A and B are shown apart, each in its own frame.
Chain A
Amino acid sequence: MNTEKFLELLKEELELESDLQTSTNLKELDEWDSMVAMLLIGLVSNEFDVNLTGDDINSITTVQSLMEKIGAERFE
């Protein structure tokens, strides 16, 4: 998936206020909570067929780290 498209998709599906960069730390967003984590798991499962575990959610920081968890080769 195109990285720009992924950033837009995250903003839309997680209903975030501000634009994202790959360097944005998801955990530092005002909106971050367990519900947003659930929405993220759902989005990644639907779009990439990758199931993020609770440990994955704990270890993710930036969007870049999320993309690496999904698989860096899946992005262009």
Chain B
Amino acid sequence: MGVKIQALEYYLPTNKITNEMLQDRFPDYDFTKFESKVGIKSRYWANSEETALDLAEQACLKLFQVIDKTQVEYIVYCTQSPEYILPTTACLLQERLGLSRSVGAFDFNLGCSGYVYGLSLAKGLIESGQVSSVLLVTAETYSKYLNVEDRSNRAIFGDAASATFLVKSDQDGLRQFAFGSDGSGAEKLIIKNGGTKSSCVTNPEIRVYGSENQYTDNDLYMNGPEIFNFTTENIPDFTKKILEINKMELSDPDYFVFHQANSFMLDFLRKRIKIEKDKFYVNMSDSGNTVSNTIPIALKRLMEGLGNVESPLTVVIVGFGVGLSWAGGIIEIDNSLI
């Protein structure tokens, strides 16, 4: 028995922020260089009344145009933008979507590695016979965590949600997964205040990083060069490990879809691992780094770009980032994604 992706949809907020708009806001910075190196032209931000749960609901409603919502037996919800500290956002989503009260539902807190973790959890739930279908949702609004003067991160991060429906199948659509964690890198990408350790404060001290980027401990902080180092030092060997546990060679998979963090980093990784350029999918210029949403968005765009395929495609997926946390695996995608 196996598991396959039956359908996948994503939703971007309507509020599109282009580089030209950022250029007007930050006139001293040249966004043409950012665009050519980091590879992002526009991103979408939720408006002030809109939350990640709202985006998740929209992604699920798109999904329910192609699948019957009464088939959903379990919600696995990945977010670092929960509606509340408690209750669990996945329970709120059950009510929003009008799903049966017999569904299981829980949240898990991961960032860029989250979608891969979600697939692996869904595989476990289905292959162990506990349920025969899982609705995997990723939803993030990092834009709400960014200081208004944090130019670098405002240029990188966008908001989005995705909904993936996984079902029991004869097809082995989710193969073997591997994981990694390193809490020693926690402070490289962090929002310090607002949890139980330290509350959000009024009039927090303003800090500066890079050239002129400002943030406070109430906001998201990312040490970009350190995250780049972590990724380039760990992900090449980790990708080889994923191939090994799936008994594949580098030339075997049809595509590689990595977390769409920034195109310079992705190109660096591709060359290090020696992946053929036409097998390495990069498509982030329109929506930027949407955290746990980049991989499902890329998978959908990949299939939409290819159109009908004769047989399922084998794809290596790798997510990495905040935690530090990373995860990867091999999946199959087919025309059901279109």
CB of B38 within 8 A of chain A?
yes
The DSSP consensus for interface residues of chain A is helix
Q: Which residue of A lies closest to B34 (CB)?
A: A35
The contact string, 1 if C-beta is below 8 Å from chain B, for chain A 2-19, is 000000000000010000
CB of B152 within 8 A of chain A?
yes
CB of B204 within 8 A of chain A?
no
- Docked complex Cα distance between A38 and B229 (Å): 8
Q: How many residues belonging to A are interface residues under a CB distance threshold of 8 Å?
A: 18
- Docked complex Cα distance between A35 and B30 (Å): 12
> Interface on B for A, CB 8 Å cutoff?
33-34, 37-38, 152, 188, 209-211, 213, 223-226, 228-229, 232-233, 262, 264-265, 268, 271
B182 to chain A, nearest CB (A): 14
Chain B CB within 10 A, most for which of A15, A34, A53: A34
B310 to chain A, nearest CB (A): 38
Determine if B265 and A34 form an interchain contact, defined as CB atoms under 8 angstroms apart: no
Determine if B233 and A37 form an interchain contact, defined as CB atoms under 8 angstroms apart: no
Q: Which residue of A lies closest to B225 (CB)?
A: A37
CB of A70 within 8 A of chain B?
no
Determine if A35 and B229 form an interchain contact, defined as CB atoms under 8 angstroms apart: no
Determine if B264 and A54 form an interchain contact, defined as CB atoms under 8 angstroms apart: no
For B224, give its contact among A38, A46, A51, A52 (CB under 8 Å).
A38
For B152, give its contact among A34, A45, A54 (CB under 8 Å).
A34
With A33-B152, A34-B209, A42-B268 already in contact, the answer to whether A54 and B225 are too (CB < 8 A) is yes
Q: Hey, which chain A residues are within 8 Å of B225, CB to CB?
A: 34, 37-38, 41, 52, 54, 57
> Interface on A for B, CB 8 Å cutoff?
15, 31-35, 37-39, 41-42, 45-46, 51-54, 57
Chain A CB within 10 A, most for which of B34, B209, B228, B232: B228
Q: Hey, which chain A residues are within 8 Å of B229, CB to CB?
A: 41, 51-54
With A15-B33, A54-B226, A54-B229 already in contact, the answer to whether A38 and B264 are too (CB < 8 A) is yes
Determine if B264 and A33 form an interchain contact, defined as CB atoms under 8 angstroms apart: no
With A53-B229, A54-B226 already in contact, the answer to whether A38 and B265 are too (CB < 8 A) is yes
The DSSP consensus for interface residues of chain B is helix
- Docked complex Cα distance between A34 and B229 (Å): 12
Determine if B228 and A33 form an interchain contact, defined as CB atoms under 8 angstroms apart: no
Q: Hey, which chain A residues are within 8 Å of B268, CB to CB?
A: 42, 45-46
With A34-B210, A42-B268 already in contact, the answer to whether A54 and B223 are too (CB < 8 A) is yes
- Docked complex Cα distance between A52 and B233 (Å): 11
B163 to chain A, nearest CB (A): 32
B34 to chain A, nearest CB (A): 7
- Docked complex Cα distance between A41 and B226 (Å): 10
Determine if A41 and B152 form an interchain contact, defined as CB atoms under 8 angstroms apart: no
Determine if B228 and A38 form an interchain contact, defined as CB atoms under 8 angstroms apart: yes
User: Which 6 interchain pairs have the tightest Cβ spacing?
Assistant: A34-B224, A54-B226, A34-B210, A33-B210, A33-B211, A37-B225
- Docked complex Cα distance between A15 and B37 (Å): 10
Chain B CB within 10 A, most for which of A38, A41, A57: A38
Determine if A35 and B232 form an interchain contact, defined as CB atoms under 8 angstroms apart: no
Determine if A39 and B233 form an interchain contact, defined as CB atoms under 8 angstroms apart: no
Determine if B226 and A39 form an interchain contact, defined as CB atoms under 8 angstroms apart: no
Q: Hey, which chain A residues are within 8 Å of B188, CB to CB?
A: 54
B231 to chain A, nearest CB (A): 10
With A45-B232, A51-B229, A54-B225 already in contact, the answer to whether A39 and B152 are too (CB < 8 A) is no
Determine if A51 and B233 form an interchain contact, defined as CB atoms under 8 angstroms apart: yes
B222 to chain A, nearest CB (A): 8
Q: Hey, which chain B residues are within 8 Å of A38, CB to CB?
A: 224-225, 228, 262, 264-265
Q: Hey, which chain B residues are within 8 Å of A54, CB to CB?
A: 188, 223, 225-226, 229
Can you give 12 contacting A-B residue pairs, CB < 8 Å? A33-B211, A33-B213, A34-B223, A34-B224, A37-B225, A38-B228, A38-B264, A38-B265, A41-B229, A42-B232, A51-B232, A52-B225
